[in-house]
């Protein structure tokens, strides 16, 4: 039996419960059993049951009462230690300044020899090499496909399918909000209007700084640098330029040369950069809309690009499912 502890029960945590429910037949056919959730916490409340929680009821309660149970806790570690689990699924909110509760929980699980799946960018951007070393030391699987590009399977693609390649660089669009705004600007909208539309559609937050200044994309650049290029860098090592300075004139100028402007993150052994760049129309990186994309330059295969939805409840949970299956394939 594979027992899960879910830390964080916002959109992604609830999405995961939905995804596990939708894959009941798949798990039955493939493993003859279902993964069981034995513990779940949100920021204040906790529910544990060694025999498995009724997650449908817990989602209903969370939606209605904003809590997973009537039991509040003070220390997440104590809750985690109160139950036997095999895999920690860490999906609490990202804190890129300190790593927050996510960093604490992941570290503790790895110290206890548990496998970990996360989409939490904070711990990965701040303490990647330390966490990898800890996982290795204790023989734990540590997977984080959903932390970059949501449903776009870039990390496992690099680690598994392209395992024999020397990857020389990755360039990509790692923030769907910026790409939506730039695509609208291609059609003649000024920045402020495109941003407002993105906010109305829920693609951009009320304070759009994190997206439009390139900070979110930079976090993904850090994770790819650490995980694919085996570097040891953090947010402050990235050279960052956002899209707020891009004028309709610049867009028109680009268009007159059959180009578009896209916010590109670039990672190599020597570069760490997020900046707006000119991309020829028809080039894979010229895509429009909210998609994420990454172009991986491999020494034998040549350029390989992958695109997918960079965000979304079910989409991000699907990346966790992919990591969960690969761990279950080894365990069962």
Q: Catalytic residue numbers?
A: 220
Give yes or no for residue 188 binding a second copy (CB under 8 A). Answer: no
Beta strands at 239-240 and 272-280: parallel, antiparallel or unpaired = parallel
Select from 248, 243, 236 the least CA-distant residue to 264: 243
189 is a site residue for a second copy (CB under 8 A)? no
Which C-beta is closer to a second copy: that of 23 or that of 121?
Answer: 23
**C-alpha pair distances (Å), 219 with each of 120, 141, 214, 234, 261:** 11, 22, 9, 8, 21
CB of 282 to a second copy, least distance (A): 3
CA max distance for the chain: 64
Instruction: Output the smallest distance, CB 95 to a second copy, in A.
Output: 26
In this chain, which of 151, 181, 217, 243 binds a second copy, going by CB under 8 A? 151
Task: Tell me which of 132, 157, 240, 250 binds a second copy, using CB under 8 A.
Answer: 157
Strand partners, 272: 267
Output DSSP code: residue 159. Answer: I
142-143, strands of its sheet edge to edge: 46-48, 36-41, 3-7, 87-90, 115-118, 142-143
Find the shortest distance in angstroms from Cβ 303 to a second copy. 7
Q: Give dist(CA 213, CA 235) in Å, integer.
A: 13
The closest of 229, 42, 40, 220 to 122, measured between CA atoms, is 220
Nearer to a second copy, 22 or 331 (CB): 22
Residue 227 binds a second copy (CB under 8 A):
no
The residues in 296-315 that bind a second copy, with binding defined as CB under 8 A, are 298, 300-309, 312, 314-315
Smallest distance from a second copy to CB 288, Å: 3
Coil/strand/helix, residue 52: coil
Examine residue 42 and tell whether it contacts a second copy (CB under 8 A): no
Residues that bind a second copy (CB under 8 A): 19, 22-23, 26, 151-153, 156-157, 160-165, 183, 186, 260, 281-284, 286-289, 291, 293, 298, 300-309, 312, 314-315, 317-319, 321-322, 324-326
């Amino acid at each position: 039996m594979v027992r899960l502890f879910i830390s964080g029960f916002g959109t992604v945590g609830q999405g995961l419960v939905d995804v596990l429910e939708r894959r009941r037949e798949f798990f039955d056919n493939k493993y003859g059993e279902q993964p069981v959730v034995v513990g779940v916490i949100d920021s204040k409340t906790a529910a544990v049951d060694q025999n498995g929680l009724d997650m449908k009821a817990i989602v209903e309660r969370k939606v209605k009462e904003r809590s997973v149970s009537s039991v509040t806790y003070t220390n997440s570690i104590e809750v985690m230690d109160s139950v036997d689990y095999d895999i920690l699924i860490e999906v609490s909110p990202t804190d890129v300044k300190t790593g927050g509760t996510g960093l604490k929980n992941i570290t503790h699980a790895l110290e206890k020899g548990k496998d970990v799946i996360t989409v939490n960018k904070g711990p990965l951007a701040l303490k990647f090499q330390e966490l990898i070393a800890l996982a290795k030391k204790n023989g734990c699987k540590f997977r984080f496909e959903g932390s970059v590009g949501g449903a776009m399977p870039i990390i496992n693609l690099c680690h598994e399918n392209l395992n024999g390649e020397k990857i020389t660089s990755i360039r990509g669009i790692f923030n769907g909000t910026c790409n939506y705004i730039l695509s609208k600007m291609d059609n003649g909208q000024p920045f402020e209007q495109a941003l407002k539309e993105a906010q109305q559609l829920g693609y951009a937050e009320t304070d759009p700084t994190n997206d439009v200044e390139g900070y979110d994309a930079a976090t993904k650049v850090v994770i790819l640098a650490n995980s694919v290029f085996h570097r040891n860098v953090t947010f402050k090592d990235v050279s960052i330029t956002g899209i707020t300075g891009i004028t309709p004139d610049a867009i028109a100028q680009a268009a007159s040369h059959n180009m578009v402007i896209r916010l590109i993150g670039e990672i190599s052994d020597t570069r760490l950069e997020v900046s707006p760049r000119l991309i020829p129309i028809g080039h894979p990186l010229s895509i429009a809309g909210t998609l994420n994309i990454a172009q991986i330059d491999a020494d034998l295969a040549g350029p390989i690009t992958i695109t997918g939805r960079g965000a979304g409840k079910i989409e991000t949970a699907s990346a966790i499912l992919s990591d969960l299956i690969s761990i279950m394939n080894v365990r069962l």
